[in-house]
Amino acid sequence: MKYALDTSVIVLALREQAEMAPNQVPLWKKTHAWLESLPATTNIVFPAPALGEVLYGLKDASRVDAVIDQVVRRFEVVPFDLEAARVFAEVAREYVGPQARRTPDWRKHKVDLQIIAIAIRSGANRLVTEDKDQRNTATKWIQVTGIPDPPPRRLRLPGL
């Protein structure tokens, strides 16, 4: 299985629990439990535009290099390259059409569509996102899911 993570999931994966608002802690715990449950061979794609969003959102710009180091150790950062640009153009034409480029939310959709294009181009089986708009946009082109529930922990009984 190859997963592509949207910005909403990456932020949860990179932050410490103490940085989370109280209402975000359950989702933070679910994210970390899911990531820790994955086999070491699981390929996780981190689209470069999502990295840009994460870095832009840092409150402390001096943390940029540390966050980049953390990301490259845990994920495969995939650029928006020529093949992703081709996929983006196809998806954007079909999704938004020529009139939508004049709408105020077009800029947000451009980044979302780049993330979708990178996920498709990289061969990801699933895009994992907690962003409802991203989920609605991507479902036509790639299987989309929220953060999956981690598998239940098995109890080990003595002598078994």
Which position has the higher pLDDT, 159 or 120? 120
Q: Report the half-sphere exposure of 151 (CA within 13 A, side-chain side).
A: 7
116 pLDDT exceeds 90? Answer: yes
pLDDT of residue 99 exceeding 60, the answer is no
Instruction: Round the CA-based radius of gyration of the chain to a whole number and report it.
Output: 17
Confidence of residue 123 (pLDDT cuts 50, 70, 90): very high
Mean model confidence pLDDT for the chain:
88
Q: What average pLDDT score do residues 18-38 get?
A: 91
CB 28 within 8 A of CB 149: no
pLDDT for 143 equals 96
In this model, does residue 114 exceed pLDDT 60? yes
If 0-12 CB within 10 Å is exposed, 13-18 middle and 19+ buried, where does residue 152 land?
exposed
Judge whether 149 and 27 are in contact, CB under 8 Å: no
Put simply, whether the predicted model's pTM sits higher than 0.75 gets the answer yes
- Domains in the chain (CATH in brackets) are 2-145 (3.40.50.1010)
Q: Which tokens sit at 60?
A: 């402390």
Q: What's the confidence (pLDDT) of residue 88?
A: 94
